Amino acid sequence: MRLLLLKRWDASWGFWSRYNRLRSMSDKRILIVGDGLAGTLVAWELLEQGVDFVVWGDGSPAASDVAAGMFNPVSFRRILPVWHAQEHLDSARTRYAACESHLGVKLWHDVALLRIFPDAAYAAQWDERIAEQHPVSAFIERCDDGNWHESISAPYGAGRIREAGWVDVQTLVKKSREFWQQRQAWSPTRWNIDDGLPEGFDAVVDCRGVGAKSDLLRYGLEVRPNQGEVLTLQVPSAVGVETVNNVTWAMPIAGGQVRIGSTYRWDFMEPTVLDASQSVLLDKANAARENKLFSRDQITEHRAGLRPASPDRRPLVGRVADAIPWYIVCNGWGTRGVLIGPRTAAWTIQSVLDASWEVPAEVRPNRFRTFTNN
């Protein structure tokens, strides 16, 4: 009998604990500044947890305006798994599926990726990773010669990553903004840290990407703008159903279209479309084909955007300074925002709702020597 009463008390305590936590959440009202991919995923996390929020977007250019939305759990430079690869993949699938359900649109596209080996040494390292059952071997496989589209040129062979694909970032951001507008939860308003905590809100989550650069620099936090340019082509002949990567990538999308990207430049503070980039991207994409499949006259769109990257390529998440505990940063997603974004957004919101919880050490703002907490 005593054991039964204890179990009932435990269950009751657990219920009231959860109830009080949810009640404290529902009492909060959060301001999200920036309505690109980061702001969008943070907003969906708050919606799921039943927390009141408003999104402010000022129309500034965002990395998500140009993002191809590719995801891939492997870092090709050294053939290693992306940081927390499987956890990020699982979280991303769940979050984007929920967004699809709410918005009634298709966002997630599974598209295998074919990595063209640049030389014999790289091919040998790929094979070695598989043979030694390195953690990355869970994501990679070796392709038999010719086990790819007939147009592909791979003199040193190729490998395949099946758990790759792309998310329609532009549709996600646009449809989410419309969704927030219908709920009176979006406003075309500009904000910076000098404006302080607006009346009626309990916290500000800063998702402005490159737009937060000067504000974060006050605390010794660097957001490095990294420009990327992406082409969209209408291609008359079949190019296969896989994304082909030989440093530059070519990704098939619907209706005979192909996206080719991306450039990386650190010398721009505003997104700038460069005519010379077209030749660079097309030449590199054609280098992975037996014949020149891609040409300038096929280009239907050419976009440029600035990716916000931190010095160590990991996100910046959490409270920035003791003097302003209401200010939470969510930034520095770099080139892997689609993959790491949902889990990073969840960490961000947990830090907002529970001041005693600490975000993982590898994404805390205070990990940098330049950081100043004042």
Q: What average pLDDT does the chain have? A: 91
**pTM of the full structure:** 0.91
**Mean of pLDDT values over 133-157:** 95
Residue with tokens 């936590």, as numbered in its chain: 21
pLDDT at position 33 is: 98
Residue from 280, 256, 345, 333 nearest 71 by CA = 333
Confidence check: pLDDT of 62 > 90:
no
Q: Is the distance from CB of 225 to CB of 308 less than 8 angstroms?
A: yes
pLDDT at position 26 is: 54
Confidence check: pLDDT of 140 > 70:
yes
Confidence check: pLDDT of 19 > 90:
no
**Mean of pLDDT values over 265-273:** 90
Confidence check: pLDDT of 3 > 50:
no
Confidence check: pLDDT of 297 > 90:
yes
Residue with tokens 């990020």, as numbered in its chain: 88
Say how far apart CA 334 and CA 308 lie, in whole Å: 5
Confidence check: pLDDT of 14 > 50:
no
Higher pLDDT, 10 or 253: 253
Q: For residue range 317-344, what is the model confidence (pLDDT) as tens digits?
A: 999 999 999 999 999 999 899 999 999 9
**Mean of pLDDT values over 303-311:** 93
Residues with Cβ within 8 Å of 257's Cβ and at least 6 positions away in sequence, in order, are: 232, 233, 234, 235, 300
Q: For residue range 159-206, what is the model confidence (pLDDT) as tens digits?
A: 999 999 999 999 999 999 999 999 999 999 999 999 999 999 999 999
At residue 284 the predicted structure's pLDDT band, cuts being 50, 70 and 90, is very high
Domains (range + CATH), the chain: 29-110+167-223+310-374 (3.50.50.60), 113-161+224-307 (3.30.9.10)
Within 10 Å of residue 134's Cβ, how many Cβ atoms?
15
